[in-house]
């Protein structure tokens, strides 16, 4: 019966588009791999039996260290693992793949590693596109809020000023018009803040889903939105990094929300002509995101409550933007959801610098 069941599973594997394999860590060789390997890599499965390192050679050069590190971790911890990485076929085409590995134990030792490798390109590219759209959406929302709130606040202020200049018992019609302008402006500013507040609260409810992501590219996409906006004429946006590519296992959408919230907060408290900088620093086991500005800074009495939900530390921005009271709380919530931490340095009339440290 056992041989019959083995034959059925082998027959299923031979007909599958996914790669099925069995690997012996002790002998450092593949004991079984189906013909789907050829479809994935354009190299014969038989070559892998004689040269096990051929599998490593098919992995994208930027991802090889990641796969080696996780392979060693798997041998040490003896637990099921899922890896996302890229392979490069013989014709030079790159494909995203998802590898699921299951250790087969004999006593306390791993006798075999069995697993399935599937083409994950469509899903991965879909996620990358979605992250790009989501990041663009969040930064554009912040830019629109800034661009709309400022002029509406000016209109509201002018209407109030006109009303004060006119005698109370005269020009009743104009008083009524200025009152209407003030009320409409107030409602529209509230509407803008309600939209941002609802959007912020909705994203917090979504569970953290970690994927391997390249952070320099992702953050640069967001910074380009700010650079290409009208805000770039008013403030200077700078992006720097310690390495040209920094990979981390995280929820990209939530991470980009961290960056967006910190940048938009800096915009609110940095005057025209000021500078807002984002820097990524790769450390041994973590990476730092540093967002700094040379704005008005945070008063010492407000600093202890900065990360509270609906915080009393909320202040109107330089251009009169009303506080939502959620931005910094969301940043802290997302950082901690990734096992990270956040802290800041700030001095009034000098500026602020926020640090977010998240495990790689």
Residue 122 has φ and ψ, to the nearest 5°, of: -60, -45
Query: Of the candidates 261, 323, 272, which has an alpha carbon nearest to the alpha carbon of residue 296?
Result: 272
The residue among 169 and 268 whose pLDDT is bigger is 268
Neighbours of 300 (CB within 10 A): 10
Q: What is the pLDDT of residues 15-61, one digit of tens each?
A: 788 888 888 988 888 888 888 888 888 888 788 888 888 888 888 88
Give the 3-state secondary structure of residue 300.
Answer: coil
Fold of 124-359: Heat Shock Protein 90 (3.30.565)
Query: Of the candidates 240, 222, 233, 224, which has an alpha carbon nearest to the alpha carbon of residue 139?
Result: 222
Give domain limits for the chain: 2-119, 124-359
Give the pLDDT band of residue 242 (cuts 50, 70, 90).
Answer: very high
Q: Which percentage of the chain shows pLDDT scores above 90?
A: 14
Tokens of 272: 């025209």
CATH class of 2-119: alpha beta
Q: What is the pLDDT of residues 51-90, one digit of tens each?
A: 888 888 888 888 888 888 888 888 888 888 888 888 888 8
CB under 8 Å to 333, separation ≥6 — which residues?
204
Alpha-carbon distance 136 to 127, whole Å?
14
Alpha-carbon distance 330 to 61, whole Å?
36
Total residue count of the chain as it appears in this document: 360
| Partners of 87 in beta bridges | 59, 95
Alpha-carbon distance 164 to 336, whole Å?
50
Three-state secondary structure of 77-132: HCCCEEEEEEEECCCCCEEEEEEEEEEEEECCEEEEEEEEEEECHHHHHHHHHHHH
Alpha-carbon distance 124 to 115, whole Å?
20
Alpha-carbon distance 61 to 240, whole Å?
24
CB under 8 Å to 27, separation ≥6 — which residues?
none
- Structure confidence at residue 150 (pLDDT): 57
Q: Which percentage of the chain shows pLDDT scores above 70?
A: 76
CA distances from 280 to 27, 39, 133, 171 (A): 41, 38, 21, 59
Query: Of the candidates 227, 237, 298, 225, which has an alpha carbon nearest to the alpha carbon of residue 273?
Result: 237
Q: What is the pLDDT of residues 201-218, one digit of tens each?
A: 555 555 778 888 899 988
Give the pLDDT band of residue 184 (cuts 50, 70, 90).
Answer: confident
User: Does residue 338 surpass a pLDDT of 60?
Assistant: yes
The answer to whether 291 and 353 are in contact (CB under 8 A) is yes
- Structure confidence at residue 1 (pLDDT): 39
User: Does residue 200 surpass a pLDDT of 50?
Assistant: yes
Question: What does the angle CA 71 – CA 74 – CA 75 come to, to the nearest 5 degrees?
Answer: 90
Tokens of 1: 């019966």
Give the 3-state secondary structure of residue 21.
Answer: strand
CB-based burial of residue 23 (10 Å sphere; 0-12 exposed, 13-18 middle, 19+ buried)? buried
User: Among 8-22, 86-100, 161-175, 292-306, which is the least confidently predicted range?
Assistant: 161-175
Structure pTM?
0.63
Residue 239 has φ and ψ, to the nearest 5°, of: -130, 125
Give the pLDDT band of residue 283 (cuts 50, 70, 90).
Answer: very high
- Structure confidence at residue 204 (pLDDT): 54
Span 167-171, average pLDDT: 71
- Structure confidence at residue 143 (pLDDT): 57
Q: Rounded to the nearest 10 degrees, how much is the dihedral formed by the CA atoms of 7, 10, 12, 16?
A: -170
Which residue shows structure tokens 């759209």? 133
- Structure confidence at residue 80 (pLDDT): 86
Q: What is the pLDDT of residues 116-137, one digit of tens each?
A: 888 888 777 777 666 666 655 5
Neighbours of 305 (CB within 10 A): 12
Give the pLDDT band of residue 321 (cuts 50, 70, 90).
Answer: low
User: Among 208-222, 249-263, 300-314, 341-355, which is the least confidently predicted range?
Assistant: 300-314
């Amino acid at each position: 019966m056992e041989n019959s069941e083995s034959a059925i599973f082998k027959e299923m594997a031979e007909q599958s588009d996914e790669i099925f394999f069995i690997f012996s860590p002790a002998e450092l060789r593949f004991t079984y791999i189906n013909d789907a390997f050829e479809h994935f890599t354009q190299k014969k499965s038989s070559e892998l039996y004689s040269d096990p390192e051929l599998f490593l050679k098919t992995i994208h050069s930027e991802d090889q260290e990641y796969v080696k590190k996780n392979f060693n971790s798997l041998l040490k911890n003896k637990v099921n693992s899922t890896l996302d990485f890229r392979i490069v076929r013989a014709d030079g085409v790159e494909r995203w793949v998802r590898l699921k590995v299951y250790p087969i134990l004999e006593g306390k030792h791993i006798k075999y590693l069995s697993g399935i490798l599937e083409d994950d390109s469509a899903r991965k590219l879909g996620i990358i596109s979605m992250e790009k759209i989501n990041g663009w959406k969040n930064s554009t929302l912040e830019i629109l809020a800034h661009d709309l709130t400022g002029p509406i606040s000016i209109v509201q202020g002018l209407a109030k000023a006109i009303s004060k200049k006119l005698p109370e018992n005269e020009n009743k019609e104009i008083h009524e018009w200025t009152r209407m302008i003030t009320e409409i402006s107030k409602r529209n500013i509230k509407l803008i803040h309600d939209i941002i507040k609802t959007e912020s609260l909705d994203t917090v409810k979504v569970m953290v889903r970690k994927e391997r992501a390249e952070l320099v590219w992702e953050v640069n996409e967001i910074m380009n939105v700010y650079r290409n906006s009208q805000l770039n004429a008013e403030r200077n946006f700078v992006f720097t990094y310690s390495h040209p590519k920094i990979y981390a296992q995280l929820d990209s959408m939530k991470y980009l929300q961290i960056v967006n919230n910190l940048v938009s907060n800096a915009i609110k408290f940095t005057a025209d002509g000021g500078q807002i900088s984002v820097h990524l620093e790769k450390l041994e086991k973590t990476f730092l995101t540093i967002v700094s500005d040379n704005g008005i800074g945070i008063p010492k009495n407000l600093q202890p409550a900065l990360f509270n939900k609906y915080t009393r530390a909320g202040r109107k921005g330089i251009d009169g933007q009303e506080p939502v009271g959620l931005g910094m709380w969301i940043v802290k919530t997302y950082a901690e959801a990734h096992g990270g931490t956040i802290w800041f340095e700030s001095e009034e009339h000098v500026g602020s610098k926020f640090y977010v440290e998240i495990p790689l």
